[in-house]
Amino acid sequence: MASHGITDRVAIVGMGCTRFAEHWEAGTDDLLRQASAEAFTSAGVAADDVDAYWLGTAQSGMSGMVLSKALELEGKPVTRVENMCATGTDALRQAAYAVASGAYDVAAAVGVEKVKDSGYQGLNAFPIPTDGTNRTLTAAAMFSLVVPAYAERYGVSVDELKQALAHIASKNHANGARNPRAQFRREMSVEKLLSMPRVAGELSVFDCAGVADGAAAAIVVRAEDAHRYTDRPLAVKALSVVAGNGRGLGDPDYDVTTFPEVATCAADAYAQAGVTDPRAQLAMAEVHDCFTPTELVLMEDLGFCERGTAVGEVMAGTFDLDGELPVNPDGGLKAFGHPVGASGLRMMFEAWLQLRGEAPEDRTVPMVDGRDLALVHNLGGYPGEMVSAVTILGRMP
Amino acid sequence: MSRSRGAILGWGCYLPRWRLDRSTISAVAGTGGGKGTRTVASYDEDATTMAVAAGRAALDHASTIDLDAVWLATTSPPYLDKTNATAVHAALRLAPTVPAYDAAGAVRSGLGALRAACAGARPSLVVASDVRVGRPGGAEESAGGDGAAALVVAAGDGDVEPLAHVEGWASATEEFLDRWRTPGDVASKVWEERFGETRYVPLAVDAYQRALADAGMEGDDVDRVLVVGLHQRACAAAAKAMGRPNDDLVATLAAQVGVTGAACPAMTLAAALEGARPGEVLALVVLADGAEALVVRTTAAVADRPAPTPLVDQLAGAPVAYGTYLSWRGLLAVEPPRRPEPARPSAAAAGRSAEWKFGFVGSEGDDGTVHLPPSAFDSTERPMADAVGTIATFTVDRLAYSPSPPVIFALVDFDGGGRLPVELTDATPDDIAIGDRVEMTFRRLFTADGIHNYFWKARPVRESAGSSRSSDEERN
């Protein structure tokens, strides 16, 4: 038993990302074409130059043919990947492993979600036949359980905690306002965020991720070939996924102030990448801020700060765009929007821009001067039963 | 002692938490209403779920699970074609060899079930349960009530010492039209009341007198006469014609609970037995398409084995607004949450997990860890329906689909082990706090494609619900 990783054996040489929005005029295939075309151009390849494809979509279509039809691919292997909100990240993980194995020279991961065709607000899971005893609570309500639990465990008042949650939302909205590809481009003050009506526990709609359509894509090759495609490739430093066993909420010792799957996954990724002090070594992190309390807890589970200190660190601005470790400089799920299958690749797209020095000046993270690494984190599911993915990307010499 | 036409071994009643103040009806409906309250089954209750609650209480009282049969009598069956009593059977975890029958359609069905059960060598559980619906503003709406009552009866003395014997029983049957409801209609229609009254009174007197003769008694031997039925005016007139006023209990139940349809006869009898002294004689006369008269005498044991969940402790409830009541009964179509309605549960999946879904049976690992739902890696069953727990934390979901939003959802830690994330019911967000004590109740989560999705929820512990049964005793 071992997690060896494929550190520095595979590189990303091209990426693309659509704007995330309510794309009433664009279908799944349109979004796939847009993101893929940008990635092809970025890597200087054509669709046919890619040997194999991995398509990430949670529920916008079945099988690899969703992509092969959209791109009119001829005779290409295409595999559909689904791993809840870690879908896009896992598509890249499959493509990277395929290249590392030597099976292919060039592989692509494309993630997409078309959520605004459902006629409902929010994300709605595809119904799988069950015995009817499964929970039907919204994700917002499940993550809202964190708030009173965290407040009690660490002796923080709910009001203080809500200030920190509003700070997180306000920060992500401010970052998103500087991002032309983000769904929401309006800044939101802490004061205004705190005045919103509650919809689930202490959470308002503005504590929830934006729900958007979108797609993102990445082209990967062996690291030694990377400079044939771009002069600034990104090395894949770590790829880690942990799928929980779902027993968390039934465990009386689980207090909903941490996501153990994430802590395990992060430890694995840091070991693969040789990261010993993430706060000092990472230039930036894109984390899965599906709800504001999620981002708060992730700061501790990802080792960015000590347990019980996230509220203070958030309020001190540690994770702001100009802070010690900028988190979600592209606006995060909160402001960029969350087309499930595309989100992981969208986060990598931000790492791609920042580490290559291509991010707009007004949201370039300052840490990028001395630090070569970026972390991307996704989770799918709920407290007590989730899939976690941590990816670490780095500049290549 | 005269010969027994049936021994009563235990009983249990269930009243839902909610009360409709009848005086609030006319402001909305423009008519109707009246004084007092009626019980209202919650949006997640029906005849089956209430029958489970009353059945649990009755089996607890009788301290037996070795049954000859289980019967469910109702005028509001959640299903037709499909037996409703099988869900009660499953929730009570009765053995597959115990038959489960519906006696559905009319108030009188419950008397037939009781009569059949009284002939059994071994105890039977007869549950009568009803959700009574009337058209808004009508007399049936305000007079009706929702609830369930269960009797455990057998032909003679078995292992369980009887609390009372049915010493006389007589029926008078006649075809005439008083109340009727065509399948598919939400509410009954009523012929001119005077007509029914003139038919019922002589039938009731005749049945009563023959029941007394059957018991070898005179009218003076009877301590209390209880005349019940949907036609309340005829009940009062019949009692008068028998030479005595209707018992106050009938009026008390009508004022606070309402007439609970098929459940009313057993509920009235049970409530009378709760307060009875040894050797007391009760006459129950039921007006239902004729009349049924039972003469019941309590034994010495009645004083020693009080019902664990007495009706008197359930008479008080919490108010429900008339508009909410109407929406719960489907009479007012309110805007649903903007979320997809849940998919119908799978019959095959539900069948595979019946012990969990209906019986609420978890599992226990070798290290004593309780798993809810059960783990495939555990070899020991852990029945949890009677477990009491504490709210570890909770949240209020105003976005999720529910027939009656918002959803209150809690993590519950059970005494003796086991944690369950579970929906709360019979509560409002302002009532709930971390540390509150909860108990489990069998409910209907939602209905999709006509399939009622039954499962368990947690509700605040009812003070009267002091079940004596340990949580790991099986009912089989």
Contact call for B371 and A247, based on CB within 8 A: yes
Q: What burial class does residue A79 get, using C-beta atoms within 10 Å of its C-beta: 0-12 exposed, 13-18 middle, 19+ buried?
A: middle
Q: How many of the other CB atoms lie within 10 Å of CB of B173?
A: 12
Query: Is the distance from CB of A30 to CB of A37 less than 8 angstroms?
Result: no
Based on the fold, state whether residues B144 and B284 are members of the same structural domain.
yes
The rounded distance, in Å, linking the Cα atoms of B238 and B257 is 22
> Using CB atoms, which residue from B339, B395, B434 is nearest to A124?
B339
| Element of type H or E holding B460 | strand B451-460
In the sheet with B147-154, reading across from the earlier edge strand, the strands are B100-104, B69-74, B124-130, B147-154, B7-14, B164-173, B290-298, B281-287, B224-229
Tokens of B437: 């004590």
More confident residue, A158 or A370: A158
Kindly provide the residue ranges of all beta strands, DSSP E only, lying in B374-416, ordered along the sequence.
Answer: 380-383, 388-397, 407-414
All residues at 6 or more sequence positions from B251 whose CB lies less than 8 Å from its CB, including other chains? none
Q: Both B94 and B29 in a single domain?
A: yes
Exactly one of A17, A23, A85, A377 is catalytic; name it: A85
Full residue range of the structural domain in which residue A18 is found: 10-118+213-232
Interface probe with B: pick from A59, A116, A126, A138, most Cβ of B within 10 Å:
A138
Look at residue B382 in the predicted model and tell me its pLDDT: 97
CA distance B438 to B49: 18
Tokens of B178: 């008083």
Residues A269, A338 within the same domain: yes
pLDDT at res. B283: 98
Q: Dihedral angle at the C-alpha atoms of A167, A203, B411, A303, nearest 10 degrees?
A: -20
What local confidence, expressed as pLDDT, does residue B464 receive? Answer: 53
- Domain assignment of residue B389, yes or no: yes
* Helices and strands (H and E) in chain A: how many: 13, 11
What is the arithmetic mean of pLDDT over A379-389? 96
The whole-number pLDDT of residue B468 equals: 37
**Is the distance from CB of A379 to CB of A294 less than 8 angstroms?**
yes
Using a CB-CB cut-off of 8 Å, the residues of chain B touching A136 are 342, 400-402, 407, 445
Q: Do B321 and B361 belong to one domain?
A: no
A15-19, A208-212, A317-321, B464-468: range with lowest mean pLDDT: B464-468
Q: Which of A131, A142, A198 sits opposite B357 (nearest CB)?
A: A131
Tokens read off for A17? 């990302």
What three-state secondary structure class fits A395? strand
The label of the residue with tokens 């347990």 reads: A307
Instruction: Report the candidate in A83, A111, A91 with the shortest Cα–Cα distance to residue A20.
Output: A111
Question: Residue B346: inside a domain, yes or no?
Answer: no
DSSP A187-216: ---HHHHHTSPEEETTEEGGGB----BEEE
Q: Are residues A269 and A342 in the same domain?
A: yes
pLDDT of residue B338: 80
- Is the domain of A149 the same as that of A186? yes
- Considering the domain architecture, whether residues A218 and A240 belong to the same structural domain is answered as no
> What would the pLDDT profile of A283-298 be if each residue is shown by its tens digit?
999 999 999 999 999 9
Tell whether A149 and A219 lie within a shared domain.
no
| Interchain pair B401, A251: CB under 8 A | no
The answer on A362 and A251 residing in a single domain is: yes
What is the rounded average pLDDT of the residues A214-230? 98
Partners of B86 in beta bridges:
none
CB of B64 within 8 A of CB of B160? yes
Domain count, chain A: 2
Read off the pTM: 0.94
Mean pLDDT lowest for which of A220-224, A227-231, B19-23, B306-310? B306-310
Candidates B357, B411, B452, partner chain A, best to mutate (most A CBs within 10 A)? B411
Return the pLDDT at A289: 98
Q: How far apart are CA A324 and CA A305, in angstroms?
A: 11
Q: Where are the alpha helices (DSSP H) in B177-309?
A: 193-215, 232-241, 248-256, 264-274
Does the CB of B350 have a partner CB in chain A at under 8 Å? yes
Residue A128 lies in a domain: no
CATH number at residue A383: 3.40.47.10
- β partners of residue B150: B12, B127
Q: How far apart are CA A290 and CA A270, in angstroms?
A: 23
In what order do the strands lie in the sheet containing B370-371? Answer: B370-371, B361-364, B380-383
How many CA atoms lie less than 13 Å away from A183 in the CB half-sphere?
23
Position A16 in a domain: yes
Q: Residue A121: pLDDT band by 50, 70, 90 thresholds? A: confident
Structural domain harbouring B125: 7-328
A46 and A88 within one domain: yes
Q: Quick one: B313 and B378 in the same domain?
A: no
For A139, the closest chain B residue by CA position comes to B400
Return the SS3 of B422: strand
Whether residue B261 lies inside any domain: the answer is yes
CA angle A268/A274/A280 to nearest 5° reads 105
CA distance A222 to A107: 10
Q: Residue A126 domain-assigned?
A: no
pLDDT band at A1 (very low <50, low <70, confident <90, very high): low
- Assess if residue B339 is contained within a domain: no
Question: Which residues of chain B fall below pLDDT 70?
Answer: 1-2, 157, 464-476
Cβ–Cβ contact A159 with B under 8 A: no
Residue B351 burial (CB count, 10 A): 10
- Do B322 and B355 belong together in one domain? no
Q: Is residue B333 part of a domain?
A: no
The SS3 of residue B101 is strand
The count of domains in chain B is 2
Q: How far apart are CA A238 and CA A250, in angstroms?
A: 31
Task: Round to whole Å and give the CA distance between A56 and B38.
Answer: 56
Contact A85, A139 (CB under 8 A): no
Helix locations, B216-314, DSSP H: 232-241, 248-256, 264-274
CA distance B180 to A296: 62
The interface pTM score, or ipTM, of the predicted complex is 0.91
Q: Are residues B79 and B225 in the same domain?
A: yes
Regarding whether B212 and B84 lie in a shared domain, the answer is yes
**Contacts with B419 from chain A: Cβ below 8 Å:** 249-252, 254
Answer yes or no: do A63 and A104 share one domain. Answer: yes
Q: Is B404 within 8 Å of chain A by CB?
A: no
Q: Please indicate whether residue A265 is annotated as part of the active site.
A: no
Q: Which two tokens stand for residue B277?
A: 């002294």
Chains A and B form CB pairs within 8 A to the count of: 112
Residue A227 bears catalytic tag:
no
Same domain, B268 and B417: no
> Which positions ≥6 away from A119 have C-beta within 8 Å?
none
Q: Are residues A175 and A113 in the same domain?
A: no
Check if the beta carbon of residue A6 is closer than 8 Å to that of residue A217: no
The answer to whether residues B243 and B219 touch, using CB atoms and an 8 Å cutoff, is yes
Is residue A112 included in any domain, yes or no?
yes
Task: Tell me whether residue A132 is in a domain.
Answer: no
Lookup: tokens for B22: 């009848």
Kindly state whether residues A37 and A178 are assigned to the same domain: no
Q: Is residue B60 part of a domain?
A: yes
Q: Which residue has the tokens 């080792």?
A: A303
Check whether residue A258 and residue A226 sit in a common domain.
no
What token pair was written down for B402?
Answer: 């529910």
Reading phi first (left if > 0) and then psi (alpha if -120 to 50, else beta), residue A61 is in: left
In a domain, B344, yes or no: no
Between positions 179 and 198 of A, the ones with CB within 8 A of B are 198
Is B199 part of a structural domain of the chain? yes
CB atoms within 10 A of CB B226: 24
Are A223 and A290 within one domain? Answer: no
Cβ contact B264:B271 at 8 Å? no
CATH code, domain carrying B69: 3.40.47.10
